[in-house]
Structure 1
Amino acid sequence: MTTHSRFWRDPALPFIEARRVDDGRKVCYAPHSHESFSIGAITGGRSTYVSGDNHQQVTAGSVVLMNPGVVHTCNPIEGEPWSYLMLYVDLPWLQALGFQPFEVLSSQSPDLYQGLCQLHGVLTDSQLSSASKHAALRIFFSELIQRLPSRVADAGRVNPRLLTAAAFIRAHCTQALRLEDMGDAAGLSTSYLIRAFKQHFGLTPHGYLVDQRVQYARARLRSGALIAEVALEAGFADQAHLQRAFKRHLAATPGHYRSAQ
């Protein structure tokens, strides 16, 4: 059992997942993204938060916000101890409340920090009903959406063929894709695809493919599927390949993640 990291899930609330990490030095991430919206509270120490081109140091009392699909990392500073808690919220549920991607990447608001910590405590309290937790979630995120400014779309600056390539990778991530397949699907040369894709998405096309496979595997493991089966379904050569990729992207083994309560 991994004592420095704990996941929480409730079958009655399938749109939300929580995680608490007591020793962030043991939980390090490669650049990755989430299909869900992520929000976290730094509960002790400090770390480096990288989101897209933005690099910042976050300390105890900070709240970090990670929009869906944005490549990010949050890792220790020279081995210093730090701790945090996270919530991962499915996009359709949030959009029903009026969610649009946020403009801010972090907040120092004591009220927001305290509210997030209290919400995490509500979710992980085994004495409270799922209905009570659902009500607390709706209140917190409705207020968050009203409180924080939404990001203004940066239209017209992205080659639409890059978006086509990304969509192709997402749609076929469990298949054996070559770089040439990705380029042909979007009408782009492989050299341009590698250079421009990394510049826009923060990952190479192959890195994006692996990230999508990990996200697929994460969803299947949440449903209780067997790890060996998930590895092959997601497009990995075997369970060992899934294990390595999963740990790099989510700082947890598939077994630890799957067994979370």
Structure 2
Amino acid sequence: MPADHRTISPTTPHFWRDAQLPFIEARCIEDGRKVCYSRHSHDVFSIGAITSGSSTYLHEKTSLTISTGTVVLMNPGDVHACNPIEDQPWSYIMLYIDAGWLASIQQVCSVGEAQAFRPIAATHTHSVALFEGLLTLHAMLIDPAVDALRKHEATLAYCLLMQQTLGCSAPPVRKANQKVERAAAYIDQHCLEAVRLEEICRAANLSEAYLIRAFEQRYHMTPHAYLINRRIQLAQTQLREGDPITDVAVQTGFADQAHFQRVFKKHLAVTPGQYKP
């Protein structure tokens, strides 16, 4: 494919969004040495391509080295982090896709039921078609000369290709632990409050020691890390809607704007101001 599809222009914005295509967001990083993530998750489906160099890829309990040509995939809620290897240069692009919208694609492919999104089993792939297709789609999305209809059609076509290529395998089955899930639900409901561990334990009817161990096994985060991650997810939504950063910091439970800035950048390797439209 043409070399320019593999090169991320330094003038490309950190994030691309279009009000006519609210189900998708794009991001590019030209120099991965400048970003570093803590373990985090998203409430959307994420798919990305390593466009140059190599990096570490942490996905829940697995860790591996990925390099140019690798496509990575994260289902909503999957804990992950991609970070540089020492000072080696690397670059990548990412798409963040609404899981509900993607569920409609799965219906066309005859997987999943109703409108529920079915997780993709693969965490990464070396499929040339998916890699080059993702680069082409990203280039089209960020091109202001391409109209929204064509971008919409291209996104549909790529997601169909992804589903047909990777969506047939059964995702790993997670053994349900209703008490631990009650703990997560309690955090979800009270994430804007000063939640205490004993309150979570009381809601789940679990001891502190058991809760910490079982929660990490299920969600690959401590309850506190899960709480902070939920606040960041809510902050992302508010920032995309145009809310002032100072208001978002207060509304999402952070001590002050400086604290919010630090935690946001730690999770997303970008400041709230860079993320905000």
Q: Same fold (TM over 0.5)?
A: yes
Answering whether residue 18 of structure 2 is matched by residue 10 of structure 1, we say yes
Answering whether residue 124 of structure 2 is matched by residue 116 of structure 1, we say no
Deviations 1:103-131 (A, max 9, x none): 11111111110000000011001011111
Instruction: Give the drift of 1:152.
Output: 3.3
Instruction: Give the drift of 1:3.
Output: 6.6
Determine what percentage of the aligned residue pairs are the same residue.
Answer: 50
Answering whether residue 118 of structure 2 is matched by residue 100 of structure 1, we say yes
Instruction: Give the drift of 1:209.
Output: 0.1
2:171 counterpart residue number: 152
Which of residues 127, 136, 140 is equivalent to 2:158? 140
State how many pairs are aligned: 257
Deviations 1:195-254 (A, max 9, x none): 211122111000000000000000100011000101111111111111111001000000
In structure 2, distance between residues paired with 1:126 and 1:24:
25
Alpha-carbon contact 1:42-1:59 (below 8 Å) kept: yes
In structure 2, distance between residues paired with 1:132 and 1:14:
15
Q: 1:32 to 1:3 in 2, by over 3 A?
A: farther
Q: Which amino acid aligns with 2:16?
A: W
1:130 counterpart residue number: 148
2:79 counterpart residue number: 71
Deviations 1:24-57 (A, max 9, x none): 0101100000000000000000001010111111
In structure 2, distance between residues paired with 1:212 and 1:36:
12
Instruction: Give the drift of 1:133.
Output: 0.8
Q: 1:131 to 1:250 in 2, by over 3 A?
A: same
Range 24-33 or range 90-99, more displaced: 90-99
Range 76-85 or range 4-13, more displaced: 4-13
1:49 counterpart residue number: 57
Post-superposition, which runs of at least 4 consecutive aligned residues in structure 1 deviate over 2 A? 2-5, 149-153
In structure 2, distance between residues paired with 1:79 and 1:197:
34
Range 176-185 or range 14-23, more displaced: 176-185
Instruction: Give the drift of 1:5.
Output: 6.4
Q: 1:79 to 1:216 in 2, by over 3 A?
A: same
Q: Which amino acid aligns with 2:216?
A: K
Alpha-carbon RMSD: 1.5
Q: Which amino acid aligns with 2:160?
A: S
Deviations 1:143-181 (A, max 9, x none): 2112213443525x3321111111221122112211111
Range 165-174 or range 246-255, more displaced: 165-174
In structure 1, distance between residues paired with 2:262 and 2:226:
16
Instruction: Give the drift of 1:72.
Output: 0.4
2:3 counterpart residue number: none
Instruction: Give the drift of 1:64.
Output: 0.5
Q: Which amino acid aligns with 1:67?
A: N
Q: Which amino acid aligns with 1:229?
A: D
Range 31-40 or range 134-143, more displaced: 134-143
